[in-house]
Amino acid sequence: MRAPITVRDIKVITTQPAGSRLVIVKVITSEPGLYGLGCATFTQRPYPVIAAIEKHIRPFMLGRDVARIEETWQMAMVHGYWRNGPVLNNAISGVDMALWDIKGKQAGMPVYQLFGGKCREAASVYTHADGRDPQEIEDAVRKFMTEGYRYVRVQMGGYGGRGSQALRPDGAPEGAYYDPRSYMRATLRMLERVRSGVGEDVELLHDIHERLSPSDAVQFAKEVEPIKLFFLEDALAPEDIRWCARIREQCATPLAMGELFNNPHEWQPLITDRLIDFVRMHVSQMGGLTPARHVAAFANMFGVRTAWHGPGDVSPIGHAANLHLDLWAPNFGIQEWCRFPALIYEMFPGMPEVRNGYMYANDGPGLGIDIDEKLAAQFPLVDEVEWWTQTRLPDGSPARP
């Protein structure tokens, strides 16, 4: 019997080519030339993830059989005793995705084939339209429609709108101020204007980004019901998920939640009680492809669809992993897409391509994507204190970003 292929080394690759700080894991095997790549990106806190990989996950993984993905994931999750936090989940995710990449390369087939094969040829995606006023947003939506997009998320002035600086008390600290009630009124008018202007041939989405109180979120979900959104995203914070039942009781607005979730107890009740329509976890934040695959199958039994988190702070490796889930899952709903610049395609050969509103895999083995490490090294991480997450209400009190 041939000796198993094992983990010889684990390398962390960091780069920041387009704003977000990206953390990539490279698992190098005992088989010459065979390696896998995974995403461990926690862009607001990359350094503890790097330390967790280098100081804890790497020693734990050395010499392990690369074929035993499920066992490795289960053991890695409990090995630190405390579990289900964003730092260790991302560290484990990087290895988990890389092991699936390796298994696909060994089999000579894409990862989605290992899951059970395609349910569709490509994944429908949505992109983001932002603007200073409703007309600017409507123009952006029309532009995306001419490019073939049929799903567009619309925001006005970023999450929660911008401004409210004039309303703050004397002596209040600096920060990213916003006024929740003003945001509700302005956004409702914007959504009504955009829907009236572009018609119903395009699906509109909107992200509250957990910035409303639960009662205001219930009210807002009711008010936007006539606009027939494809979904309303993150109406509530993870701490407030029991309020989902109140929204369900009062309106039919489709709900999507999950990008801040780390713990299965956050998404399980929302699925089993059918309180949301889409799960949209950040796949590296929940621990990688292994748990995401389980959640997709679990959600399918309850009629809940997938809409995995896919902004610029999901690395291209993470986007490739999302796509393999999308192509396989019978309950796929939609995929978020951030429209990377050309540099990313050069840095990550094999990056999935979007054409006419659909994302296509290249059908290479594994995840089908690689990284040019020399090019990535030209864009080192920039140390900075995040500004947009220092959000404040009009009176200066801290608020959820």
Encode burial over 87-105: b for 16+ CB neighbours within 10 A, e otherwise: bbbbbbbbbbbbbbbbbbb
Catalytic annotation on 319? Answer: no
Under DSSP, the state recorded for 366 is: B
Catalytic annotation on 79? Answer: no
Which pairs with CB-CB distance under 8 Å and at least 24 residues apart come from 238-245?
238/210, 238/266, 240/210, 240/214, 241/266, 241/269, 241/270, 241/275, 243/214, 243/217, 243/218, 244/270, 244/275, 244/276, 245/273, 245/275
Q: How many CB atoms lie within 10 A of CB 85?
A: 14
Question: Torsion angle of alpha carbons 114, 74, 90, 347, nearest 10°?
Answer: -30
Structure tokens at 280: 């949209």
CB 39 within 8 A of CB 23: yes
Q: How far apart are CA 309 and CA 133, in angstroms?
A: 26
Question: Torsion angle of alpha carbons 56, 60, 61, 63, nearest 10°?
Answer: 140
Kindly report the backbone phi and psi dihedral angles of residue 92, in degrees, each rounded to the nearest multiple of 5, phi listed first: -70, -40
Catalytic residue among 149, 151, 159, 183: 159
Return all residues near 280 (Cβ < 8 A) that are at least 6 apart.
233, 256, 257, 258, 259, 306, 307, 308, 309, 336
For the chain, state the CA radius of gyration. Answer: 21
Return all residues near 349 (Cβ < 8 A) that are at least 6 apart.
369, 370, 371, 372
Catalytic residue among 209, 282, 319, 324: 209
Return all residues near 247 (Cβ < 8 A) that are at least 6 apart.
217, 218, 221, 235, 236, 253, 255
Residue type, 365: P
Residue type, 140: A
Distance of CA 93 to the CA centre of its chain: 13
Q: How far apart are CA 150 and CA 356, in angstroms?
A: 9
Hey, which residues are catalytic here? 159, 209
